[in-house]
Amino acid sequence: MTEITSLSLFELIKNIKEKKISSNEAAKSFVDRSEKSKKLNTYVTENFENCLKLSKEFDNKPNFDLKLPGIPIAVKDLFCTNEVRTTAGSNILNNFVPSYESTVTQNIWNEGGILLGKLNCDEFAMGSSNETSFFGNVQNPIAKNLVPGGSSGGSSSALAANLTPVTIGTDTGGSIRQPASFTGTVGLKPTYGSCSRYGIVAFASSLDQAGPMSKDVKDSSILLEVISSFDKKDSTSIDFKRNNYSSELTRNIKGIKIGIPKEYRVDGMPGEIENLWKKGIEYAKDCGAEIIDISLPHTSYALPTYYIVAPAEASSNLARYDGVKYGLRSSGESLIHMYEKTRSEGFGEEVKRRIMIGTYVLSSGYYDAYYLKAQKVRQLIKKDFDDAYNKVDAILTPSTPSSAFKIGEKSNDPVSMYLNDIFTVPVNLAGLPGISIPAGRDKNNYPLGLQIIGKPFDEQTVLNIAYSMEEKINYKNNITDWWME
Amino acid sequence: MDGIMSKNNSEYLIERNDNIYEVVIGLEVHAQVTSNSKLFSSSSTKFGAEPNTQVSLVDAAFPGMLPVINEYCVKQAIKTGIGLKAKINNKSVFDRKNYFYADLPQGYQISQYKYPIVGEGNVILDMPEGQKYVGIERLHLEQDAGKSIHDIDPSNTLVDLNRSGVALMEIVSKPDLRSPDEVNAYIKKLRSIMRYLGTCDGNMQEGSLRADVNVSVRIKGSKELGTRCEIKNVNSIKFMQMAIIYEANRQVDLIEEGEEIDQETRLFDTKKNETRSMRSKEDAHDYRYFPDPDLLPLEITDEFIDQLKSEIPELPDDKKKRFIDEFKISPYEATILVSDIDTAKYFEEVVAKMGKNRDMKLAVNWITGELFAVLNNKNIEIAHSPISAKNLAKLINLIKNGTISGKIAKTIFELMMDGDIDPQIIVEEKGLKQQSDPIALEALIDKIINDNREKAIEYKQGKEKLFGFFVGQAMKASGGKANPQLINEILKKKL
């Protein structure tokens, strides 16, 4: 029999329900493997002992009607977890233990999930390589000294290394899809308003969205079904009819119209990305989809727009980390001095850079030229998609303009780092659902992903297309466990 | 000659070297919304609780916490807007006003900046020289900050977040006020309207009503506005008036000395009775306002507004008009009676309880005279009056129907206060019923005239002043219970 840790979530649930594997056996397997995988640096806070205890409790009193019966799950350290330290990858929250639970994680525990630990991420989710984390780099299990992507880098790495059956990340500009693409895994960013933001450490409120990360599309559909819910505690949560994503999942996408946006052929895009995209189009056709060329004319403005809107919101969202109420406090001679020292010591370079950008674009005299303009462009980008969706049901693009890069390769070049998000950012600006699925490999054998973007609230179509293409692509990660002694 | 010209009306002018200046005042009133819970959280707003006992995770801005609008506070703001005869905006937006302070947990205040919930309206002031309209620029909803307490610990500032997140209405007037008297009338009128509506209790001691006062001066008759200074956070009408007088004179002095007035924010020092510079325009905060992405724009339908309109009670201006029309009392009396909702309620109850044969004049005089004096003396609100409206109405009826004299009524009034006693019972128990039997009174007067023959003769010879002497003697002899009108009549006849 295959190792427990390499089972898909679906298979694991099936085995547990059929009593072939106990929750405690599953927990032990993931804890053991996680213990042996410290070199990957995926965990910020382990919850192993508690997880083993809770899994035993589950086995003593099992409830197989639950959607995640006794399943151990590690989550990104941006979700506040009751009585378990939550750092957001930052020194300023190094000692922060919430007394409350995020809605998304609560949904998981309500369905029988058990917290395995808190996974590393870029500081306040600001980064594309997990290198901005106060808790250090995360290794991509694909190859040594390769970044796992970011900001949900700990999540993608832990998932690809089989340290957790599935995980959840957050995606503000690509933070689920890009790391999924870099690790040969599946990552879905739902429609803005699908998953509650309550209890998630905020980066950019109008863009942040939690979503599932998994080894295959079916697992994402199972997890999305659990985490997506209307929540009165989040005023931007939307009360729409949610599908039973996993049971409605189908490979029948015959006649579905898929748009190919010409503006995504960006200058300097490696040939292998171009080829991957072409192959993807062929796969989609093989699945019965109709391919239609479309135009999203404002695509080139998406990245600059994003790098105004996101830092602006972040500069305000991060103002609460001032040393007064919780988290790090450095001593100072006056209130202002205390603020300065706390925030200087508490925040890393990338976070400070974005706070400064955000403060600048909101300043009087610059607001109209930057923030207001960016908001207008954001509307145009959204309209591009609205127009396209008059003609097509979904859009197919590459997930990233390149494969995973080496640790340190881009850490001193923020603009080159920001370019990683060029294909994912427009989706956040427009509030749309988007999935990245593994679709091939580059010359180094590093995974490459394709992105499927859907209409608002139409996660089902996105999942169905991905599910269908996944079968044709038939991608399998080749993990060698190189990091183990 | 320098000096402040004083007039009999509410005008306030400053004279310096033959120049006559007027003062231009605009107010930003911060009124705490009457609501059990805060603007974006369910924490209690009760005043006077132990520090930091009414603080939710949202109020303390814990990571991942999100604001959720309290619909009741929105209704209260709309009602207030209706009371100010203002335009209610179908769409308004909550912005973030960003600044750092220890008692501002989020690092920003959620406030409506560009798109307030209520637009232009007006308030009518009853001034001695007639009615005056004061324009309302806008009303918007915002969160209050917590409190920094500097005087408990010698080396630390303590922070109490009970107030953090409490809903405020900021009511911005146009620069239409011209004197401390008008400011007094304006604040009282606003307070009165909001108390009628139940949207703000107007309690200035508890900080439910505070104001930023914008003051500038100009030569009287000039159309242009002078450079203004904003005096922050003044929490009583008296201090507002003192601050305005100080600030206006300071500005006039500067102009007369040929100096410029800096546009700045100032503080009023209540101990020294002066305003002090807090920060200049150059040092002004850049609040970096932008729409709060955690909240959707507030959209209000016309049906919602109409529903609230139908719930609005009769407001002071309408009530005043009705009192004059219906009860035939003077505008001055009506103004006094409607100024406070509880006074108006009390008056109306007295009127109702007096029944058919009611005497408005007596009712107004007893409420604004004896009753107000007692309430003032004992510092009691009329809502907690020691004499109920019902019993005061009985007392007035006893005067009206001749059972007691006005003088005896005052004695009875004093006795009634001890537990709101029915005046009828006092009259009976103490035998204070007025003597109105003409035969008994004639006998009594005959005796007095007999006992004072010489004075009676003097009176007949033309010393008319002595009439009062006989009235006094008659009242004295009757123990004050004689009907004074009858005494007068009988005396005139007999003498």
Concatenated DSSP letters of A259-302:
EEEGGGS-TT--HHHHHHHHHHHHHHHHTTPEEEEE--TTGGGH
Chain segment B117-170, per-residue pLDDT in tens:
999 999 999 998 889 999 999 999 999 999 999 889 988 889 999 999 999 999
pLDDT at B6 over 50: no
* pLDDT at residue B284 in the model: 77
- Distance from C-alpha of A155 to C-alpha of B31, rounded to nearest angstrom: 49
How, if at all, do strands B130-143 and A434-441 pair? Answer: unpaired
The question of whether A175 is a catalytic residue gets the answer yes
User: Mean per-residue pLDDT for B399-413?
Assistant: 88
Interface test with A, best of B40, B62, B111 (most A CBs within 10 A): B62
- Tokens read off for A184: 């040969």
CB contacts, 8 Å: B288 with chain A: 315-316, 359, 362-364, 367
Say yes or no for a CB contact (<8 Å) between B63 and A312: no
Query: Which candidate in A151, A152, A157, A229 is catalytic?
Result: A151
CB contacts, 8 Å: B106 with chain A: 319-320
How, if at all, do strands A210-214 and A257-261 pair? Answer: unpaired
* pLDDT at residue B190 in the model: 97
- Distance from C-alpha of A366 to C-alpha of A334, rounded to nearest angstrom: 30
How, if at all, do strands B229-234 and B264-269 pair? Answer: parallel
- Distance from C-alpha of B26 to C-alpha of B174, rounded to nearest angstrom: 6
CB contacts, 8 Å: B159 with chain A: 324
- Distance from C-alpha of B174 to C-alpha of B27, rounded to nearest angstrom: 8
Other Cβ atoms closer than 10 A to A244:
10
CB contacts, 8 Å: B289 with chain A: 362, 367
Query: Which candidate in A76, A218, A410, A455 is catalytic?
Result: A76
Chain segment B292-347, per-residue pLDDT in tens:
999 999 999 999 999 999 999 999 999 999 999 999 999 999 999 999 999 999 99
* pLDDT at residue A43 in the model: 98
Tokens 């009439």 belong to which residue?
A: B467
Q: Which domains does chain B possess?
A: 3-308 (no CATH), 314-430 (no CATH), 438-494 (1.10.10.410)
DSSP of A102-165, one letter per residue? -HHHHHHHHTT-EEEEEE--SGGG--SSSTT-TT-----TTSTTB---SSSHHHHHHHHTTSSS
Name the minimum distance, in Å, from the CA of A476 to any CA of chain B: 36
Say yes or no for a CB contact (<8 Å) between B288 and A316: yes
User: Which residues contact residue A247 at a Cβ distance below 8 angstroms, ignoring those fewer than 6 apart?
Assistant: none
* pLDDT at residue B197 in the model: 98
* pLDDT at residue B8 in the model: 54
H or E element: which one contains B476?
Answer: helix B466-477
Name the minimum distance, in Å, from the CA of A8 to any CA of chain B: 31
* pLDDT at residue B479 in the model: 76
* pLDDT at residue B432 in the model: 76
Helix axes B389-400 and B423-430, enclosed angle (nearest 10): 50
- Tokens read off for A286: 């093989």
The number of CA neighbours under 13 Å toward the Cβ of A49 is 2
User: Which residues contact residue B437 at a Cβ distance below 8 angstroms, ignoring those fewer than 6 apart?
Assistant: none
* pLDDT at residue A112 in the model: 98
- Tokens read off for A64: 């197989």
Q: Residue A203: which pLDDT band, with cuts at 50, 70 and 90?
A: very high
- Tokens read off for B297: 């724009």
pLDDT at B5 over 70: no
Q: Which of B76-80, B183-187, B247-251, B489-493 has the lowest mean pLDDT?
A: B489-493
User: Mean per-residue pLDDT for B228-250?
Assistant: 96
- More confidently predicted of A430 and B2: A430
Q: Residue B451: which pLDDT band, with cuts at 50, 70 and 90?
A: confident
* pLDDT at residue B159 in the model: 96
pLDDT above 70 coverage of chain B, percent: 98
User: Mean per-residue pLDDT for B464-488?
Assistant: 82
- More confidently predicted of B445 and A32: A32
Determine the residue of chain A that is closest to B52 in CA distance: A325
Q: Which of A109-123, A449-463, B242-256, B279-293 has the lowest mean pLDDT?
A: B279-293
Q: Which of A1-15, A97-111, A142-156, A211-225 has the lowest mean pLDDT?
A: A1-15
Asked if B463 and B469 count as a contact pair (C-beta separation under 8 A), the reply is: no
- Quick check: helix, strand or coil at residue A208? coil
Closest Cβ–Cβ partner in B68, B98, B159 for A319: B98
CB contacts, 8 Å: A336 with chain B: 100
pLDDT above 90 coverage of chain B, percent: 76
pLDDT at B11 over 90: no
pLDDT at B461 over 90: no
- Adjacent-strand bridge partners of A75: A118, A168
Q: Residue B428: which pLDDT band, with cuts at 50, 70 and 90?
A: confident
Asked if A387 and A430 count as a contact pair (C-beta separation under 8 A), the reply is: no
User: Mean per-residue pLDDT for A163-191?
Assistant: 98
In chain A, where are the structural domains located? 4-259+390-473
Chain segment B227-236, per-residue pLDDT in tens:
999 999 999 9
Say yes or no for a CB contact (<8 Å) between A325 and B57: no
CA B316, B322, B326, B330 dihedral sign is positive
Closest Cβ–Cβ partner in A199, A235, A336 for B68: A235
Q: Which of B59-63, B151-155, B460-464 has the lowest mean pLDDT?
A: B460-464
- Distance from C-alpha of A449 to C-alpha of A184, rounded to nearest angstrom: 7
- Tokens read off for A455: 């209409």
Asked if B215 and B251 count as a contact pair (C-beta separation under 8 A), the reply is: yes
- Distance from C-alpha of B281 to C-alpha of B7, rounded to nearest angstrom: 36
Q: Residue B460: which pLDDT band, with cuts at 50, 70 and 90?
A: confident
* pLDDT at residue B3 in the model: 47
* pLDDT at residue A18 in the model: 97
A117: closest CA among A38, A182, A232, A10?
A38
CA B9, B14, B16, B19 dihedral sign is negative
User: At B326, which amino acid appears?
Assistant: E
* pLDDT at residue B2 in the model: 45
* pLDDT at residue B1 in the model: 38
Q: Residue B474: which pLDDT band, with cuts at 50, 70 and 90?
A: confident
Chain segment A110-132, per-residue pLDDT in tens:
999 999 999 999 999 999 999 99
Chain segment A402-428, per-residue pLDDT in tens:
999 999 999 888 888 898 899 999 999
Q: What is the dihedral of CA A268, A270, A271, A272, to 10 degrees?
A: -160
Asked if A93 and A87 count as a contact pair (C-beta separation under 8 A), the reply is: yes
Mean pLDDT score across all residues of chain A: 97
pLDDT at A1 over 60: no
A33: closest CA among A174, A160, A194, A203?
A160
* pLDDT at residue B234 in the model: 95
Q: Residue B280: which pLDDT band, with cuts at 50, 70 and 90?
A: confident
pLDDT at A175 over 60: yes
User: Which residues contact residue A151 at a Cβ distance below 8 angstroms, ignoring those fewer than 6 apart?
Assistant: A78, A89, A121, A122, A125, A126, A127, A128, A130, A132, A169, A170, A172, A175, A179
Residues from A in contact with B at Cβ < 8 Å: 80, 86, 88, 93, 96, 98-100, 102, 197-202, 204-206, 232-236, 312-313, 315-316, 318-320, 322, 324-326, 335-336, 339, 359, 362-364, 367, 371
Asked if A238 and A193 count as a contact pair (C-beta separation under 8 A), the reply is: yes
Chain segment B333-390, per-residue pLDDT in tens:
999 999 999 999 999 999 999 998 899 999 999 999 999 999 999 999 999 999 999 9
- Distance from C-alpha of A87 to C-alpha of A326, rounded to nearest angstrom: 12
**What's the pTM value of the predicted model, to 2 decimals?**
0.91
* pLDDT at residue A485 in the model: 65
pLDDT at B283 over 80: no
* pLDDT at residue A260 in the model: 98
Chain segment A69-90, per-residue pLDDT in tens:
999 999 999 999 999 999 999 9
User: At B487, which amino acid appears?
Assistant: I
CATH architecture of the domain with range A4-259+390-473: Alpha-Beta Complex (3.90)
Chain A and chain B share a number of CB contacts under 8 A equal to 97
Other Cβ atoms closer than 10 A to B103:
18
Other Cβ atoms closer than 10 A to B424:
15
- Distance from C-alpha of B293 to C-alpha of B291, rounded to nearest angstrom: 6
